[in-house]
Structure 1
Amino acid sequence: MSQDIFDEREYERRLTRTKERLREERLDAIVVADPANMNYLAGYDGWSFYVHQAVVVTPDRDEPVWVGREMDANGARATTWLSEESIRSYSDDHVQSPYDLHPMDYVAGVLEELDVADGRIGLEMDASYFTAKSYTRLQENLPEAEFEDTTLLVNWVRITKSEQELEYMREAARISENAMQAGLDVIEEGVPEYEAAAAIYDQLITGTEEYGGDYPSIVPLMPSGDHTGTPHLTWTDRPFRDGDPVIIELSGCRHRYHSPLARTTFVGDPPEEIEHTAEVVVEGLEAALDVAEPGVTCEAVEKAWRETIAQYDIEKEDRIGYSMGLGYPPDWGEHTASLRPGDETVLEEDMTFHMIPGIWTDDFGVEISETFHVTGSGAETLAEFPRELFTT
C-alpha cells in the first residue's frame, strides 16, 4: 500500500508543489494521465494503464481525485492515500464500448462536479496513454472549457527527489548490480540469448536478500553481434558466438523507482578497436561525471564528454543522458532535462540522471552507463559495478 511506501506528508508536499504550478499557469485543474505522475500524486499502482484513467488536481481541493475503471477502484483503495470520496470509477461499458461511451465522458462529469467545466484545464497531451480520442471527447463534453497542454508540468515537479525516493533508487541499484552480474555470468559461446535474458529477469524480480524487485519500465535490452550498433533491440533465440560483442542495458526497480545500468561484454578475445572504444567511453563518462554538480548546466556536462572523445576523433550527436526515476512502461525517463547541447537546465541537488554515453558504429557498439544523484558537492553514482569491457 502507498501508505507503507511514503507517508502522507510526502504526498502533501508533492501536491502543494503541483498546486503552486497550477496557480502560476492560471489553471483551474489538471488531468493527469501519465501512470508515473498518477503514482507520484496519488500513490496509485496497478497494471491498468491499458485502459483510460486519470488523476485530477485542482488548486483548492485538499486531495486529488482518482478516476478509473470500476474493477480497478479497489486497487485505488489499496494503493492510494485518498479518501473514499476522492475515488471515482466508470462502468465497464465505457471500455472498448459498443454504445459510443468513452472513459473521458465520465472524466468530464467529474470535472463538472469539481466546478471547472468552464475553466482552464491542463492536459498531458503528449503522454503515452492520453489518446487523440480522449482529447476530442473532453472537447465535446466540455465545450466551454479552455484546454492547455501541460504535458510536463508534473514531470518537472518530480525532477528533484526526496530522501525516501533516493533510498528506493539506491535499493534499485543493488538489484541492477545483481541482474547485471547474472547476465554476464550466463553469456558464453553457444548459450541462447534468451537464457541470459531469463537469468537477468530472475534477479530483477528476486532482488536482494533484504527485498524483492518490481517489473522495470523497459525490458532488458540485449543486442549482440552486428546488432550492437543498433540500440534498443532485445534478445532472440540465437546462440552467442565467438566474436560477439553483447550490450546489456537493464534496471532494477523498487516501488516503481529505477536505477538503470548498462555494460558491454565480448564473447572471446575482443579486437583492439572495441577495447579502445570501451576505454574512450569510460574516460568520457568519468569526465562528464566529474563536471556534474549543482549550478552546472546539462549542456556543460555533455560538453565534458564531447571534448574528451573529440581527442580520439570521435563525434556523437545523441544526448548522453536524461532525468529519470519513477516510471511505468514504456520507459523510466521523466522527459524533462537531457544531457545534450542546448539544454540549459541547471543541475540542482537531488536531481537524478541516467548517463548513457554509448558509441555506436556500423559494425559494433559499446555502452557503459551510470545512474547518478546530484549531491551538494558533485555526482554520486548509485551502482557499484566495474566500468570496463567484460569478456567471457
Structure 2
Amino acid sequence: MLLAISKKEILERQEKFYGILQEKQIDCAVLFSVTDIFYLTGFHFHPTERPVGFFIDPNKQTHLFVPALEHEHAEEFAHVNFVHSYPEYPGLRHPMEYFKDELNQAGFEGKTVGYDSIGYGSSMGYRGPAVSEFLSAKDFVSIKWIVEEMRVVKSPAEVELIKESCRWGNLAHRLLQKYSKPGFSEIEITSKASSEATMAMIETLGPDYKPHGSTAYALFRGQVGEMSAFPHAVTQNLLLKKGDTLVTGAAADVWGYHSELERTMFVQEANSEQEKYFKIMYEAQEIAFKSIRPGVPCSTVEQEVQKYFKEAGVENLVHHHTGHSIGLLGHEAPFFDLGDETIMQPGMVFTVEPGIYIRGLGGFRHSDTVLVTEDGMEMLTYYPRDFASMICY
C-alpha cells in the first residue's frame, strides 16, 4: 500500500481546482489555508509568523511562496511549478512586498483574483497587509469553500489512508483498555498505550510512514469518572477508580489523514444506571448507522437520532450533534446536524458519535468512522461496541 497521495492525484486536484476557477470566471487565485495548500501540493508545513501562500496564475502555473527556511523543503516535497522565497520575518522588507512582486510577475495585475483569505492570518505574531491593499486587481472574489468542498468526497487512496489510521487507532485503544486499572493516572495509561502503539506502527509500516500530524495515540482527555460528563473535558491527571465511567479517543494520522474511534468504558464494574444510559447511547448510534445512505440529506441522520432520544426521554442530556466529516482535519464539513442539508454521496467519510451526558454519573459516547457507499455505509473502525466488552478488567 502507498502510504501517501500520489503526485498524479495531486496534479489532478490542481487541474480540477483550476477548472472550477474557470467556471466561475476567475483568472487566478491565492490560498493561505495550511490544509488546502497541503491538499493541492503535498507540501506539509507548520504555520508560524512567516507567511506561506499558494497561488495559481492565469497560465495555470502553480507557485508556492515560502520563507527562506522552507525553500529547500518545498522544492523537495511540493508538486508545483515554481517555489519562491523571501528573507526572514520580521525583516527590513515585509514578506508581502516580495509576494506583491511575485504576483505581479505572474500576471495577477488587472485580473479577477480568487482568495480563500484576503491576507495571511497567524496567531503567532504576524502583522501584515491584505492582498487587496497592494495588488491592483480587476476584482477580488472569495473562494473560501472551494477546496474544502473538493475534499468532501474522498478518493480510493484517501479512504485507504483513513483505513490505515483506523487500524493503528484500534491497537492504541486495545492497549488503553488493557492498562485502564484502578490506581493508575490517565497520563500514565495514555502515555504507555500511545507509545507502544506508535512503536508497533513504525516498526510495521517502516520508513514510508509519514504522520503529518500525530502518531498513534489513545487518551481520555480528562473524561474520567464524573468528569466524563463534560463532552470536551481536558486532561486532569486523575487516578482511575473502580466503577469510573471512561470516555476515550484513539487514532493515528497517516499522511495527514485522520480517523476517530471513541468508546465508553467502565473500570472493573458498572452499575445499573451506567448500563441504562450506555444502552440508550448504543441504540442511538445503531439508528444513525441505519440512516446513512447516499442521496439522503445529512440532517436526516440527526432527525432520526433526536427522535429516538426524545422517545427515550433523554433529549435534555444531549449536548452536540451526531457527527461530522473527517479527513485532513479532525472535524470537517458536512455535519450530521439538523441545519445541514448536504446530500450524502459515496466516498464521504463521517464520524458517528451521538452522546448523552449526566452530571455526577458520566458521559456516554461511542464514535466510529464510517464510509458512505453506493448502497449504504461501511464501518471503517472495528473496535467492539457492546456493553460486556467495555468493562476494563
2:366 alignment partner in structure 1: 368
1:322 alignment partner in structure 2: 324
2:36 alignment partner in structure 1: 37
Q: Which residue identity lines up with residue 114 of structure 1 in the other structure?
A: A
Which of residues 104, 107, 114 is equivalent to 1:115? 107
1:75-133 Cα offsets, whole Å, 9 max, x none, are: 112222234xx1111211x2xx164x443333333222221133333333399955797
Q: Which residue identity lines up with residue 149 of structure 2 in the other structure?
A: W
Report the more deviating stretch, 13-22 or 195-204: 195-204
Contact 2:119–2:129 (8 Å) recurs in 1: no
Q: Report the alpha carbon displacement of residue 65 of structure 1 after superposing the two structures with TM.
A: 1.1
Which of residues 145, 156, 159 is equivalent to 1:163? 156
Which of residues 186, 207, 210 is equivalent to 2:204? 210
1:149 alignment partner in structure 2: 142
Structure 1 residue runs of 4 or more that deviate by more than 6 Å after TM superposition: 131-135
In 2, the alpha carbon distance for the partners of 1:195 and 1:147 equals 52
- 2:230 is the alignment partner of 1:234: no
2:77 alignment partner in structure 1: 79
2:294 alignment partner in structure 1: 294
Q: How much identity, in percent, do the aligned residues show?
A: 22
1:285 alignment partner in structure 2: 285
Q: Which residue identity lines up with residue 56 of structure 1 in the other structure?
A: F
1:104 alignment partner in structure 2: 96
SS at 2:307 equivalent: helix
Q: Is there any run of 5+ residues in structure 2 with no aligned partner, and where?
A: none
Contact 1:243–1:268 (8 Å) recurs in 2: yes
Q: Which residue identity lines up with residue 305 of structure 2 in the other structure?
A: W
In 1, the alpha carbon distance for the partners of 2:200 and 2:352 equals 23
Contact 1:32–1:56 (8 Å) recurs in 2: yes
Q: Which residue identity lines up with residue 367 of structure 1 in the other structure?
A: R
Contact 2:242–2:267 (8 Å) recurs in 1: yes
Report the more deviating stretch, 351-360 or 155-164: 351-360
Contact 2:43–2:77 (8 Å) recurs in 1: yes
Distance 1:24 1:245, change over 3 A: same
Q: Which residue identity lines up with residue 144 of structure 2 in the other structure?
A: T
Aligned length: 378
Q: Is there any run of 5+ residues in structure 1 with no aligned partner, and where?
A: none
With normalisation by structure 1, the TM-score equals 0.87
In 2, the alpha carbon distance for the partners of 1:125 and 1:48 equals 15
1:6 alignment partner in structure 2: 5
Contact 1:42–1:82 (8 Å) recurs in 2: yes
SS at 2:234 equivalent: coil
Q: Report the alpha carbon displacement of residue 325 of structure 1 after superposing the two structures with TM.
A: 0.7
